[in-house]
Every structure is written in C-alpha cells, then in structure tokens.
Amino acid sequence: MTTTRIAVIGDIHHGQDTQTKRGSMALPLLERFVAEINAAGVDAVIDLGDRISDEDPERDRLLQSDVAMCFATVAVAHHHLSGNHDVACLTLADNEAIFDLPSQSRTLIIGDLRCVFWQPDVRLTRARGLHLSDGDLDGLADLLGQDERPTLLVSHVPLSGHAQTGNYYFEANPGHATYAEIAEIRKVIADAPCPVVALAGHVHWNTLTTVDGTPHITLQSLTETFISGEPAESFGVLEVEDDELRWRVLGREPVSVALPWRKAKSRWRAPLPTFTALEAT
C-alpha cells in the first residue's frame, strides 16, 4: 500500500505588512517551511498562490523573484498557481517566467494521485469582484471530464461558496471570496465523472465544507494574523493512502482531519424546493 504525501502552502504575501498580513516575516517563514519539508520528505509541494502583496510591476518582480529563489531550494518538484495579488501588476506569463514553471490549468500525477490545477481568471478589484473569463468554465469541465479516477482539484479561489461569517476580509465582502459564477462551477464539479476533493487558499482561514458530496478544504495563509494575533505560520500536509485522505495543518492554527478518498462518484439528491412550494403541490 503506497502513500502519496504532498506539502501545501499558500497566501505567503511576501512584501510590506498590510492590514493583518505580516508580509515582512514571509521569507523567514517560507525558508523554515522549506527546511522542514526537505527534512520530512514529501512527494511534492503545492503553492496555492498569492505569493506576494502587490505594489507595482517593478517591485512585484523583485518580490516574486525572492519567493522563487526560496522555492528553488525545495528538494522535490513544486507546483504553482497564481492568485489575485500575483497578477495585480504582473501577468500570468510574467509569473511563469520568474519561476520557470507553468501556472496555467493542467493535470498532473503526483505519486499515485491525480491532480487538476485550475487557473481561471483571478483578477480582483474592489469594484469588480471575481468573475470567470470566457473558456474558464469549459476548461474546468474538460479537465475533470478526462478521467474517472478520484481527483484533487486545486485552485487559488475556493469553489464551495461557503459562508464567510466571521472572516476579517470577506464577511462584509462575500463577492470577493469566490466567483460570481459559483453555481455554474458547482454544477461542473457535481456533473464530473470523477470523485473530487477540492483544495484552495485565498480566504485566509482553515475550513472544511462539503457541497454536493464534494469536500472543499481551504488553507490558512502563512502570514495572516487576524485569528491568532501572530502570523499563522500555516502549511498543510496532505496524505492519500488507499481509501483515505488525511489533511493536517501545522502552525498556530492546527487542524487534523481524515476523509474518505472515494473511488466512485457520490451524488447527492437535489435539494427540496421551499416548503411553501411543496405545500402548494
């Protein structure tokens, strides 16, 4: 029986201290993460994006280069998505060039684990919120539809539409926590032939939400302080062994959970209409 082990980090936010993010501590914390992961031994590392807190194009290139040099010391393959801060002043192509690694949507096999990395449009402004671009939804359907094997779906932005009650950033701004097209995204995931576990960052807290039979996990930011008062120092270790997925978050806000790693799709019945509508039938 083999075990696939993946280390996960996200929302590093290297740069200036902003709001509750302690960006000035990002590089030392990232260096510690790399040292711990290199010593522990994993099959790969996944970066969920938002590596920097954006300022301007010139400064952002320097910040991304700092992070890239740190990731270059990782002893195993590392895989990246880009978040809204990564593309605020730079393009996706800029990020790929700095890391010399892909950041676009793709399918990878890590150990024995099928992973779909979905990189839709992550541009975010206070006025615009988050919206998919043409082709993003079809791209997700195509990636998920290629295989019936259980799949880890990785994105920067969460795809559950879970409530943001109590979230420092998003309780009053839920339209910035996920996509306006969340209903359509949920349908694509529900209709896919493969069982899915979804993993994301962006919202700066640890959550587990099940929607339409699909577990959705979010990982706390490396440098976020709004819950514990100090940088969370969070990173995750995901292990899949036979029919079980184990998720453990280390740092100031630890989490440990085991989930079924289902080999066949679980399909929930459609929710009831309102009780008033039922009574009228």
Structure confidence by residue, pLDDT tens digits, 41-76: 999 999 999 999 999 999 999 999 999 999 999 999
Burial label, 7 (beta-carbon count in 10 A; 0-12, 13-18, 19+): buried
Q: Is residue 91 over pLDDT 80?
A: yes
Mean pLDDT of the chain: 96
| Domain spanning 3-264: CATH superfamily | Metallo-dependent phosphatases (3.60.21.10)
Cα 181 → chain centroid: 17
Q: Which residues on adjacent β-strands are paired with residue 58?
A: none
pLDDT of residue 151: 98
Residue 185, CB half-sphere, CA atoms under 13 Å: how many? 24
pLDDT of residue 1: 63
Share of the chain above pLDDT 70, in %: 100
Burial label, 67 (beta-carbon count in 10 A; 0-12, 13-18, 19+): buried
Residue 154, phi then psi, degrees to nearest 5: -110, 130
The answer to whether 52 and 13 are in contact (CB under 8 A) is yes
Residue ranges covered by each domain of the chain:
3-264
Residue 62, phi then psi, degrees to nearest 5: -65, -45
Rounded mean pLDDT, 13-29: 97
Residues 6+ apart with CB under 8 A from 157: 83, 84, 120, 122, 130, 177, 178, 179, 200, 202
Cα 177 → chain centroid: 12
The answer to whether 92 and 58 are in contact (CB under 8 A) is no
Rounded mean pLDDT, 117-141: 94
Residues 6+ apart with CB under 8 A from 174: 163, 164
pTM: 0.96
pLDDT of residue 126: 81
